[in-house]
Structure 1
């Protein structure tokens, strides 16, 4: 990963996401990072919360291990954070969209918040 000060290399982030490279993604997180995700199973009042790199690594290993495509459709970075949208598609055609906002310190993600939605099956 190419990172300077509080910035993350958006190209490296895009490549890691789109190639489903869980190890490269995990390397972008701080050891004490946390993640909050909201979706239909985890509403705003009870979001999914992951604390620490081990929990985040397990989630990334799971998601990256699924047979699906990932495309970063928008990505922007500022002095202390990055935001991106990601479109995913399972082999059966089911689509997932994620909007993610990350706080960055010392070139690593320290906090991530995301909202995801996907097509209903059937």
Structure 2
């Protein structure tokens, strides 16, 4: 299934948000009270980084999209009020980042996201 029932959230909308030049289009997909739980080398599962609300999400996206890197939506599956997707990124120096996300949709907007990411080191 490609679209969450009764919403405008779909794979192409997510692709445009992720692959855009700024985080603004991606930010528009989040509910006002959305929460992102980030798990990676620095924020491990027992102490994830939590980003709450569109204000904090906007700050995070502004910082990420200010970097010299590309973003690509690899895969996405949407089923009802849930979606999962893979995003790959690459810095200008060739360093690669891969992330997996599971999201919960509320009224066509991202309400919750669990993001697990890894990147090249050394």
After the TM superposition, which segments of 4 or more aligned residues of structure 1 sit over 3 Å from their partners?
A: none
> Gaps spanning 5+ residues in structure 1: where?
none
Find the counterpart in structure 1 of residue 16 from structure 2. 15
The answer to whether the 8 Å contact 1:7/1:81 transfers is no
Q: 1:13 to 1:26 in 2, by over 3 A?
A: same
Find the counterpart in structure 2 of residue 33 from structure 1. 34
- 1:21 and 1:101 map into 2 onto residues whose CA distance is 22
- 2:92 and 2:78 map into 1 onto residues whose CA distance is 31
Partner SS for 2:15: helix
- 2:46 and 2:8 map into 1 onto residues whose CA distance is 31
Q: CA RMSD in A?
A: 1.6
TM-score, normalized by length of structure 1? 0.92
TM-score, normalized by length of structure 2? 0.92
Deviates more, 1:26-35 or 1:12-21: 12-21
Partner SS for 2:36: strand
> Gaps spanning 5+ residues in structure 2: where?
none
The answer to whether the 8 Å contact 1:5/1:105 transfers is no
The answer to whether the 8 Å contact 1:36/1:112 transfers is yes
Deviates more, 1:14-23 or 1:73-82: 14-23
- How far residue 65 of structure 1 moved from its aligned partner, in angstroms, is 1.5
Find the counterpart in structure 2 of residue 58 from structure 1. 59
